[in-house]
Amino acid sequence: MRILHWVNVVCLVILLMSGLQIFNAHPALYWSEDSRASTRVLEITQKQVDGQSRGVTRVGPFEFDTDGVLGNSRGAEGMQPRAFPAWITIPGPQWLAMGRLWHFFFAWLFVANGLAYILWTLFSGHLRQDLLPTRSEWHGIGRSLRDHLLLRHPRGEEARRYNVLQNIAYLGIVFGVLPLLVLGGWAMSPMMDAFVPGWVDWLGGRQAARTLHFIAAMLLVAFVAVHLFEVVVTGLVNNLRSMITGHWRLPE
């Protein structure tokens, strides 16, 4: 489990940063089979204000000034017109071909690692013993939500098992968000489209699949952000030690 976890960490970091590199080549999303302006749902671009270029983000009919962060960010040569800043893209500030190679390689590694996790989860009993909430846990979902909002975390024997919110989050990510992420990525590959013709239409077409891929990626980023926050507030040293050595101190 620990090996699979750390392989995931490496894959997700590189996939996110190389994915943003790819997105910068065409920083817009559409809900259609093609990329018409009338079907555009997101665009990160620039516009001229008083003779100067400013970064803006458009979501549907709404426009937001994101200058300095999205659309227009500071680089080695001053302000540069790019959707996401250079510091969050790899393998460079603007290297689409190599970014695609990095993304595809680590995507397949991520899929292989995910399949290993699912097989281990199913055959080790981890799904039934740790991930599926019991009836009593479903009934206590309101209390669990309140405790999380108040940063009250389980201790003693109660801390030995995932709480119901953790169960829902892990199940939703593993069996919902990640499959959508993979399918959306496959749908953008001409090879995978040709392998089984017509299946990309189930997702609304290639451009819609690209949008679903981006949404799934952002949901995964949000999950990781909450995950890291909980790691810190429930005992950073204890949690990190457990994911490296396998030994975890039970909170009294």
Number of other CB atoms surrounding residue 19 within 10 Å: 23
Residue 44: inside a domain, yes or no? Answer: yes
pLDDT digits (tens, 9 = 90+) for 216-251: 999 999 999 999 999 998 889 988 999 999 888 887
| Whether residue 23 has pLDDT greater than 90 | yes
Residue 102: inside a domain, yes or no? Answer: yes
Instruction: Please check whether residues 114 and 169 belong to one and the same domain.
Output: yes
Instruction: Please check whether residues 115 and 208 belong to one and the same domain.
Output: yes
Instruction: Please check whether residues 51 and 37 belong to one and the same domain.
Output: yes
Classify residue 60 as exposed, middle or buried by CB count within 10 Å of its CB (0-12, 13-18, 19+): exposed
Instruction: Please check whether residues 47 and 165 belong to one and the same domain.
Output: no
Instruction: Please check whether residues 48 and 13 belong to one and the same domain.
Output: no
The amino acid that residue 106 corresponds to is F
Distance CA 128, CA 122 (A): 8
Residue 250: inside a domain, yes or no? Answer: no
Instruction: Please check whether residues 228 and 241 belong to one and the same domain.
Output: yes
Instruction: Please check whether residues 105 and 179 belong to one and the same domain.
Output: yes
Residue 252: inside a domain, yes or no? Answer: no
| Whether residue 82 has pLDDT greater than 70 | yes
> Which residues have C-beta within 8 Å of that of residue 224, sequence separation ≥ 6?
12
Instruction: Please check whether residues 114 and 32 belong to one and the same domain.
Output: no
Instruction: Please check whether residues 123 and 229 belong to one and the same domain.
Output: yes
Residue 70: inside a domain, yes or no? Answer: yes
Instruction: Please check whether residues 34 and 23 belong to one and the same domain.
Output: no
The CATH number of the domain holding residue 213 is 1.20.950.20
Which range marks the domain in which residue 77 is found? 28-83
Instruction: Please check whether residues 73 and 121 belong to one and the same domain.
Output: no
Domain tally, the chain: 2
pLDDT digits (tens, 9 = 90+) for 174-216: 889 999 999 999 998 888 777 778 888 888 888 999 999 999 9
| Whether residue 166 has pLDDT greater than 90 | no
pTM of the model: 0.87
